[in-house]
Amino acid sequence: MASSALISDTQSWKDLRAHVEEINKTHLRDLLNHTDRCQSMMVEFDGILIDYSRQRATLDTLKKLFNLAEAAHVKEKIIRMFNGEHINSTENRPVLHVALRAPRDAVINSDGKNVVPEVWHVLDKIRDFSERVRSGSWVGATGKALKDVVAVGIGGSFLGPLFVHTALQTEAEASECARGRQLRFLANVDPIDVARNITGLNPETTLVVVVSKTFTTAETMLNARTMREWISSALGPQAVAKHMVAVSTNLKLVEQFGIDPNNAFAFWDWVGGRFSVCSAVGVLPLSLQYGFSIVEKFLKGASSVDQHFLSAPFEKNIPVLLGLLSVWNVSFLGYPARAILPYSQALEKLAPHIQQACYSNLLACLYVSMESNGKGVSIDGVPLPYQTGEIDFGEPGTNGQHSFYQLIHQGRVIPCDFIGVVKSQQPIYLKDEVVNNHDELMSNFFAQPDALAYGKTPEQLQKENIPEHLVSHKTFSGNRPSLSILLPSLSAYNIGQLLAIYEHRVAVQGFVWGINSFDQWGVELGKSLATQVRKQLHASRKKGESVEGFNFSTKMLITRYLEASAD
Ligand code: F6P
């Protein structure tokens, strides 16, 4: 395939299109009877088991998807990524988040230079700094140890670290290491978020970590100034040096802000924001909370999946298989959404990180998956005749079962990722219960995929003597695809593995669709319009200028807001 040609013009794409008709004649109820098929659709790597036998696919579908991967040069694109080539062509950058978790002796070259030593230089600096803070040898302006951390950042400078923090919070070893410490995240520019985050904190014992790749993001910089004011009004301006540090690629702006460059932790433009949790963006706040050695385990888990992604044959390659099946669901079966359903409360921030959409900021709705693959043109700028990306959302089970699962069972068809964990972080055994609490949770994890796949027929209902007028209401069509991911436990290592699986799956989808999954031009327009509004609000409030330069609707809304909020 020529580089500017679209994947949809290839024979492999057309074969899959034609194949849909065949798949439409099947039902998962029948497909699940073929033991050989099901056995081939289970893949295991480093303790993780993936079962994709509940996808609406046959072994022939898989063969055709591998042909598609070949036509899209997926293997070559993976290698180019690991080789540090500038695959983010619109920003002329390599995409090297895999280097962030590479072992110390690895060699990953970018522009003729091995980047691994500088990665480890920063990791060593984080280890040293976090140990000094945690041991109390680094103290605040009044001589007190800093036991609480507020990480200020948004988007990728927030959601990844929040996901990992939430996942580690109840892990036995990590929670022991975090005893007496707090990690909070300030993301939204909404002043309520500031108020909630500083409630109960003492500036004397608080360290603020400002996390921003660019150090220009409006929300983060306003929140950083607000926290600087909070520190200096309580402890004096000189306290900032002891109570504020930064993570950024823009060390010049960090210094201009008033943070000592010695207390800045660098990363590089080859780390995309949404792929930055393994850089100082995540490693610094998480090391302050849990200690560096726990975070190192997380990095090792991610690195293990990186190696698997690079070297495993596609038939056994978890991110490749998941990525190809997602392309199948979106582009051929026409399912526009995907539900991420971890049966683990510790993974409650996985879906927000992958979508990423949890915060009350619509811009943030477009993250790891959605910011990466929500594109309208190919990498060469050609408008696409097919949709890319999917609408990701999710909630931990069983909570989700009592909110949106109704739609998944009897309404729209939404492919689901069910994520279960063999060993709970916090097992509870009540002596009078039939099963322990974790078994109860996992009973639902095992049941839901079959409920979706098999459904329930009118005949079955009639046999159960369901009154005739309720039969149609109680019928489940079934044939609804899902995949099951079974993790051995939720250790820091497993959390790293899970993160890397999702990151690489997104890349595979983008590689097949022929888009640039590593830029995010779509978030710019809203940001520049907000600048125009900000100027208007300032001019109206300070100089009484009337609202001009907007359409009728926006003008009316802004005018109303100004009038109603005037002192
Ligand atoms: O949402 C757009 C975005 O540019 C993300 O890609 C990024 O993670 C986020 O804003 C925050 O940017 P920064 O880390 O530069 O503050």
Q: Interface pTM (ipTM) of the complex?
A: 0.97
Q: Percent of the chain scored above 90 by pLDDT?
A: 92
Mean pLDDT over residues 102-125, rounded?
97
| Nearest Cα to Cα of residue 376 among 360, 389, 391 | 389
Task: Out of 221, 225, 247, 520, give the residue to mutate to test ligand 1, the one with the largest number of ligand atoms within 8 Å of its CB.
Answer: 520
Q: Where do we find the tokens 């921030």?
A: 349
Q: How confident is the model at residue 3 (pLDDT cuts 50, 70, 90)?
A: low
Host H or E run for residue 151:
strand 148-152
What integer best gives the mean pLDDT of the chain? 95
Query: How much distance in Å is there from the Cα of 159 to the middle of ligand 1?
Result: 11
Q: Which residues are marked as active site?
A: 371, 402, 527
Q: Quote the CA–CA distance of 372 and 6 in Å, as a whole number.
A: 18
Q: pLDDT at residue 356 above 80? A: no
pLDDT per residue as tens digits for the range 138-180: 999 999 999 999 999 999 999 999 999 999 999 999 999 999 9
Which amino acid appears at position 410 of this protein?
Q
| Atom 16 of ligand 1, nearest CA residue | 212
Q: What is the pLDDT, as a whole number, of residue 4?
A: 66
- Rounded to 5°, angle at Cα 29 from 27 and 34: 100
Task: Out of 214, 215, 221, give the residue to mutate to test ligand 1, the one with the largest number of ligand atoms within 8 Å of its CB.
Answer: 214
Q: pLDDT at residue 363 above 90? A: no
The predicted model scores a pTM of 0.94
CA dihedral angle for residue 161, residue 164, residue 168, residue 174, rounded to 10 degrees: -60
Task: Out of 213, 353, 354, 356, give the residue to mutate to test ligand 1, the one with the largest number of ligand atoms within 8 Å of its CB.
Answer: 213
Q: What is the pLDDT, as a whole number, of residue 370?
A: 87
Crossing angle (nearest 10°) for helices 552-565 and 524-543: 50
Please report the atom of ligand 1 found closest to the CA of residue 274.
8
Q: Which residues of 206-233 are buried (b: 16+ CB within 10 A; e: fewer)?
A: bbbbbbbbebebebbbebbebbbebbbe
Q: Quote the CA–CA distance of 220 and 15 in Å, as a whole number.
A: 48
Mean pLDDT over residues 300-319, rounded?
98
Host H or E run for residue 485:
strand 482-487
Backbone angles phi, psi at 372, to 5 degrees: -75, -50
Query: How much distance in Å is there from the Cα of 215 to the middle of ligand 1?
Result: 9
- Rounded to 5°, angle at Cα 462 from 458 and 466: 105
| Nearest Cα to Cα of residue 418 among 355, 350, 356, 485 | 485
* Cβ 129 vs Cβ 138: under 8 Å: yes
Mean pLDDT over residues 117-135, rounded?
98
Q: What is the pLDDT, as a whole number, of residue 355?
A: 80
Please report the atom of ligand 1 found closest to the CA of residue 157.
14
- Three-class SS state of 10: coil
| Atom 3 of ligand 1, nearest CA residue | 155
